[in-house]
Amino acid sequence: MNVGRVIVGEVTTENEPVSIAGLTPTSITARQDLVDGLKQWRLWGRLGWLDVRRRYARTVIGPFWSAISLAVMVVALGSVGSGLWSKQASEYLPFLAAGMVVWLLVSSVVSEACSLFIASTGLFRQLRFNYSVMAYALVWRNLITFAHNLSVFVVVSLVFGAPCSRRSRCSRFPASRFCC
C-alpha cells in the first residue's frame, strides 16, 4: 500500500521530494543533501571562486582590499589597546591580529548565511541541484577571503616576532606550525 501525503496541494509518495513554492529538492533527506552536495565539490568550488572574482572584478588588488582594511584596523586598535592595557606592541598585536582574522571569518559566514537561500532562490528555480551546494560555496568563498586576511597575521607575526615555540601556548594548535 502506497501512502501519500498532501503538502501545498500536491499529493506525493514517500519516495520522491516535495515541491514547495516551485522549488524541488534533489534529495529526500538533509543528510543525503549534505553528502551529495559535498560530492559536487567542483560545482561549489567554482561557484565560490567565481563569486570572489565577481566581487573584486574592477579592483587592482582584489580581495587584498579587505586585508588592507584589516591591517589598518589592527594597527589602530593595537596602538590604542597596547597603551590601555600596558602591553608591549610586540606582545599584543599578533594576538589581536589572530583574533580579528578569525572573527572576520566567523562573522562573515554567519551574516551571509542568513540570506543565502533567499539570495539564491532565482538560481534554485532555474536549475535543480542540492541546496547544500550553495552553503558549501559560501564557506569556500569565505575561506578564500580568510586566506587573504591571514596574510595580515603572518606579516604582523614576522614584524613583531610573535613568540612561538614548542613550549608556548600557541604550539598546542596544529595551525600554529604554519605561521611560526
Sequence letter at residue 104 = L
**Overall average pLDDT of the 60-74 stretch:** 87
d(CA 128, CA 117): 14
Number of neighbouring beta carbons within 10 Å of residue 82: 17
Query: How many other C-beta atoms can be found within 10 angstroms of the C-beta atom of residue 156?
Result: 24
Mean local confidence (pLDDT), 96-122: 91
Q: How far apart are the first and last CA of the chain?
A: 65
- For residue 169, the model assigns a pLDDT of 53
Percent of the chain scored above 70 by pLDDT?
74
**Domain map (residue ranges) of the chain:** 29-179
Residue 90 has a pLDDT of: 82
Q: Enter the pTM of the model.
A: 0.71
For the chain, the maximum distance between any two Cα atoms, rounded to a whole number of angstroms, is 76
pLDDT attached to residue 10 = 47
CA atoms within 13 A on the CB side of 125: 8
pLDDT band with cut points at 50, 70 and 90 for residue 75: very high
